Amino acid sequence: MTQTAPRTALVELSGVGKSYGTVRALEGVSLEVHAGEITCVLGDNGAGKSTLIKIIAGLHRHDAGVLRIEGEETHLSSPREALDRGIATVHQDLAVVPLMPVWRNFFLGSEPRKGVGPFRRLDVGLMRRTTRAELLRMGIDLPDVDRPIGTLSGGQRQCVAIARAVHFGAKVLVLDEPTAALGVKQSGVVLKYVTAARERGLGVVLITHNPHHAYLVGDRFVLLKRGTMVGNHTRDDITLDELTRQMAGGSELDDLRHELERAP
C-alpha cells in the first residue's frame, strides 16, 4: 500500500518561547501552518497572542524552541525578512493612510513607476487597474478605488489588506484580531475573505479571542493562556462547545460555579 508523504508545513513552531528580562511571555508553544488551511490561535488578553505574532512576523526573535519555514530552521531578524520569506502580517491598526485613496494604500511602499530619469513618475493607471482587478479576484467588488480608504468600513479595510497581501505573494497570512472591533455583519464579511485566502492556497493564522468566529473558518485550533499552550486541536477532534469551554476557562469556570452555588 502506498503511503502519502507528510506535508511540509509552511510555518512550524516547536516548543517556542520568549522572555523579556525576567518575564516569560511565551513558553512551549507549538503550531503548524499548512497551505490551504486556517490555524486559529485563541486566548484572552495577556495569553501571549501578541508575542506569538511578533515572532512569526519577524519583529522579535524567539529565545527557546524551533521556528521552521518550509522545513528550514530559522530565526527571523526583521519584518522585511519575514515578508521576503512569504509571511505577511495584517495588524489591527492596518497601517493605512486614511486620506489616501484605496489604490495608493494598496501599493503603499511598493509603488510601480514609469518613465526614465527626471521624467520617472508613479504609474497611477497601473495601480488603479491592478487594485481593482486584485480586489475582484478576491471577490471584493469596490467600484471606486479612488475614494479615501478611511471612508470604507472596518470590514472593507480588512479585506483590502488581505487582498494586498495575496497580491504581493504572501504564502502565509497572519491576521491579528481582524474582527475584534467589528459588528456581526462586518465580521462575516471579513471571515468570508479569510476563507477566500485559504481557497487561494495560503496558510492563514487567525488570531482571535472569539471561538465562534474561529470555529466558523478554522482547520486547527491552538489555545493560549498566560503564555503557555493549553490546547492544540484539529477541527475533527473538538466541538464548538468544547472549544468555547476551554477558551472560557474550562475547569476554572466549573470551580467558580461550585463556589457560587455554595455562597449564602
Q: Report residue 21's pLDDT band, with 50, 70 and 90 as the boundaries.
A: confident
Q: Report residue 260's pLDDT band, with 50, 70 and 90 as the boundaries.
A: low
| Residues above pLDDT 90, as percent of the chain | 52
CA–CA separation, 194 and 203 (whole Å): 10
Q: What is the pTM of this model?
A: 0.85
- Looking at the predicted structure, is the pLDDT value of residue 92 above 90? no
C-alpha cell at 48: 501571549
How many other CB atoms are found less than 10 A from the CB of residue 62? 22
Least confident of 30-44, 89-103, 228-242: 89-103
pLDDT tens by residue, 57-84: 999 999 999 999 999 999 998 988 999 9
Residue type at position 110? S
Q: What is the pLDDT of residue 69?
A: 94
Q: Report residue 132's pLDDT band, with 50, 70 and 90 as the boundaries.
A: very high
Concatenated DSSP letters of the chain = -PPPPPPPPSEEEEEEEEEETTEEEEEEEEEEE-TT-EEEEE--TTSSHHHHHHHHTTSS--SEEEEEETTEE----SHHHHHHTTEEEE-TTTT--TTSBHHHHHTTT---EESSGGG-EE-HHHHHHHHHHHHHHTT---S-TTSBGGGS-HHHHHHHHHHHHHHTT-SEEEEESTTTT--HHHHHHHHHHHHHHHHTT-EEEEEES-HHHHHHH-SEEEEEETTEEEEEEEGGG--HHHHHHHHHTTHHHHHHHHHHHH--
Mean pLDDT calculated for residue range 1-14 = 75
Longest dimension (CA), the chain: 82
131, 77, 122, 78: which is closest to 103 by C-alpha? 131
Kindly report the average pLDDT of the chain as a whole number.
Answer: 87
Q: What is the pLDDT of residue 186?
A: 85
User: Domains (ranges, CATH) in the chain?
Assistant: 11-96+170-262 (3.40.50.300)
Mean pLDDT calculated for residue range 171-175 = 94
pLDDT tens by residue, 175-206: 998 888 788 888 888 899 899 999 989 999 99
**What is the dihedral sign for C-alpha 19, 25, 28, 32?**
negative
- Looking at the predicted structure, is the pLDDT value of residue 219 above 70? yes
Residue type at position 13? L
